[in-house]
C-alpha cells in the first residue's frame, strides 16, 4: 500500500469515528431530555398535589370563622344599606332634574339649528337665483323652496318617561 492509500484509510477511519461519536452524543442528548421531561412531570404533579392540599386547608380555615364574621357584619350591612338607599334616592332626584334641564337645552338648540337651516336654505336659493341671472328668475320664482322648519318636540319630564316604560317614579317627582 502506498502513502495515499494509507492516508485515505486513516481519514476514512477518523470520519467514521467522528460520525459514531456524533450519533452517541445525539443519543445521550435524547436520553437526557427524556429524563428531564420525566423529572419535570413528576415535579409538576407533586406541586399540584401540594397546592390542592394547601387550598383544602385554607378553605377549612376560612369556613371556620365565617359564621362569626357574618353575624358581626350583618348589623353593619343593614345600616349601610339604609344610607346607600337614601343616597341613591338623592342621586336619582338630581339626575332627573339634570336630565329635564338638559332636554330643555337640547330642544332650544334644536329650534335654533332649525331656524339657521331655514335661513341658510333661503340664502342659498337667493344666491342660486342671483347666479342664474334673469333667465332663471321667472322659472325659479314659481318653484322657490320653502324654508325648512323643524318644530321642537314637546317637553316630557324624565319621570313621565319612566312611568311610560313601567318603571317607578322616584320620590319627590310628580306630574
Rounded Cα–Cα distance for residues 101 and 105 (Å): 6
pLDDT tens digit sequence for 68-118: 787 777 777 777 788 888 899 899 999 999 999 999 999 999 999 999 999
pLDDT tens digit sequence for 10-25: 999 999 999 999 999 9
Rounded Cα–Cα distance for residues 16 and 8 (Å): 12
Q: Read out DSSP for 114-163? A: HHHHHHHHHHHHHHHHHHH-HHHHHHHHHTPPPPP--PPPPP--HHHHHH
Amino acid at each position: 500500500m502506498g502513502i495515499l492509500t494509507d492516508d485515505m484509510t486513516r481519514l476514512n477511519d477518523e470520519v467514521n469515528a467522528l460520525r459514531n461519536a456524533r450519533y452517541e452524543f445525539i443519543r445521550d442528548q435524547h436520553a437526557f431530555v427524556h429524563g428531564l421531561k420525566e423529572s419535570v412531570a413528576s415535579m409538576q404533579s407533586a406541586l399540584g398535589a401540594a397546592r390542592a392540599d394547601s387550598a383544602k386547608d385554607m378553605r377549612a380555615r376560612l369556613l371556620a370563622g365565617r359564621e362569626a364574621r357574618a353575624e358581626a357584619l350583618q348589623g353593619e350591612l343593614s345600616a349601610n344599606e339604609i344610607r346607600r338607599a337614601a343616597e341613591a334616592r338623592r342621586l336619582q332626584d338630581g339626575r332627573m332634574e339634570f336630565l329635564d334641564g338638559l332636554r330643555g337645552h337640547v330642544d332650544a338648540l334644536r329650534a335654533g339649528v332649525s331656524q339657521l337651516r331655514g335661513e341658510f336654505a333661503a340664502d342659498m336659493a337667493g344666491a342660486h337665483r342671483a347666479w342664474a341671472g334673469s333667465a332663471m328668475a321667472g322659472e325659479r320664482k314659481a318653484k322657490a323652496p320653502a324654508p325648512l322648519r323643524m318644530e321642537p318636540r314637546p317637553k316630557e319630564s324624565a319621570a313621565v318617561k319612566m312611568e311610560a316604560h313601567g318603571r317607578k317614579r322616584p320620590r319627590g317627582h310628580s306630574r
